Structure 1
Amino acid sequence: MTKAISIALIVGGIVLLYFGGQAFNSVSSDVSRVFTGSPTNKAILLLVGGVAATIAGLTGMALSGRKR
């Protein structure tokens, strides 16, 4: 994985984490938590996608620095 792709994944992951946090603290997520005990699916998917993209980007950065 090239460094450019890794950096793009890290930035994209951080953006997804930000929007996931916003969705997690939204009114609709609060209403969902009252009735179901869990936040909305959108919030969960954004947070999981953000974590996955960030980890993939960090892994790519770590492996791209290694010589073959």
Structure 2
Amino acid sequence: MNKIVGLALLVAGIILLYFGYTEYNSFASQATEMVKGSPTDNSIWLLVGGAIAAIIGIGALLKK
């Protein structure tokens, strides 16, 4: 059961990282970065959430 949850978290983390990366490279994020000096909050949250979910998923898969 834990392996299924770990795999689901890993897949969800990878998907969130993909959407965060595309959002980070979007025109709106680049325009915001030029004005404010930082990318949009949405892209940062997607990247952070994806990284955390992927790390937890990998940890659950590697746990005996």
Given the two structures, how large is their TM-score scaled by the length of structure 1?
Answer: 0.91
SS in 2 for 1:38: coil
Alignment correspondent of 1:12? 12
SS in 1 for 2:38: coil
Does residue 46 of structure 1 match 2:51?
no
Alignment correspondent of 1:24? 24
Alignment correspondent of 2:56? 56
**RMSD (CA atoms):** 0.9
Runs of 4 or more, structure 1, over 6 Å off, are: none
Q: Distance in 2 between matches of 1:61 and 1:27?
A: 36
Q: Which ranges in structure 1 are unaligned for 5 or more consecutive residues?
A: none
Identity of aligned residues (%): 44
Q: Distance in 1 between matches of 2:54 and 2:9?
A: 6
Which residue type is aligned with residue 54 of structure 2? T
Q: Report the count of equivalent residues.
A: 64
Q: Which ranges in structure 2 are unaligned for 5 or more consecutive residues?
A: none
The Cα of 1:62 is off from its aligned counterpart by 1.1
Given the two structures, how large is their TM-score scaled by the length of structure 2?
Answer: 0.96
Which structure would you say has the larger Rg?
A: 1
